[in-house]
Amino acid sequence: MSPDFPIPFTKMSGTGNDFIIIDHRRPFLPDREIPGFVRSVCQRGFSVGADGLILIEDDPEADFRWQFFNGDGSRAEMCGNGARCAARFALQKKIAPARMRFITDAGPIEAEVLDGRVKLKMTPPVDLRRNLSVQVDGRKIELDHINTGVPHAVHIVEQDEAVDVAGWGRAIRFHPLFAPAGANVNFVRQLGPSALGVRTYERGVEAETMACGTGAAAAAIIAALQGLVSAPVTVTTSGGARLTIHFSLVNGTGVAGLFLEGPARIVYEGELRAGALEKDG
């Protein structure tokens, strides 16, 4: 069954992560057909192209709920950059006020739209695992792990260390330590007493992305636990954009008041036609 075309959508960017956002409050896609739809329209060069797709839906206890999908059609619990874009979309479409609450698979999220920036109150981090070691390309790599909405492995690198983000990221992402869900992998450089540079290999995209909001939060927390930075932490992403991570450390290992702040840009609005789902050949 094909959806009725045309389908209005908004293309948005959150510090280099790009998303297709669709108002799905009147559902037109059966759940079983959504992964294939996502794979088709997120394919660069053949359709709109994006890192992920967000469906905005009604929720009886919040301003809205979302379904978030990676570009390969897999569903993800949370995406910080996607959540900021969803919040700005919801305000623009009068679905929610400037201060809003919405439901994700990781739990409820609170957001505030501040002009072109959005500040998110993240769910409390879980599953902190320190001082892990994996073998990659014949060398031992030291990691920490934390779930900031989705699972993240964090590796602190030296300023001048060359990093094979694709190769190392893929190997760590599929490592048995993180099975069965896998983990996003963040390679983190200290840039100052409250500043980091982060490159992220994202599961579901299966490549380095220009930014990852939950990864920036994970990197900031792990770096703070290692005594490298203090909050608030400015994170410079692969694409050169900056995110601000607000939080407090509690009793040395706990985290309270985790917020992610950064820009959410509307790139364009359009309509999907049937050709968005077609493949050449």
Q: Which residues are catalytic?
A: 79, 212
Rg (CA), the chain: 18
User: Exposure string (b/e) for 217-237, b if CB count within 10 Å is 16 or more?
Assistant: bbbbbbbbbeebbebebbbbb
How far is the C-alpha of 117 from the C-alpha of 150, rounded, in Å? 22
User: Exposure string (b/e) for 135-173, b if CB count within 10 Å is 16 or more?
Assistant: ebeeeebebbbbbbbbbbbbbbeeeeeebebeebbbbbb
What is the separation of C-alpha 143 from the centre of its chain, rounded to a whole number of angstroms? Answer: 20
User: Exposure string (b/e) for 27-49, b if CB count within 10 Å is 16 or more?
Assistant: eebeeeebbebbbbbbbeeebbe
Cis preceding-peptide flag for 30 (omega within 30 of 0): no
How far is the C-alpha of 164 from the C-alpha of 221, rounded, in Å? 23
Kindly list the distances between the CA atom of residue 178 and the CA atoms of 182, 186, 198, 199, in Å, as whole numbers in the listed order: 5, 14, 20, 19
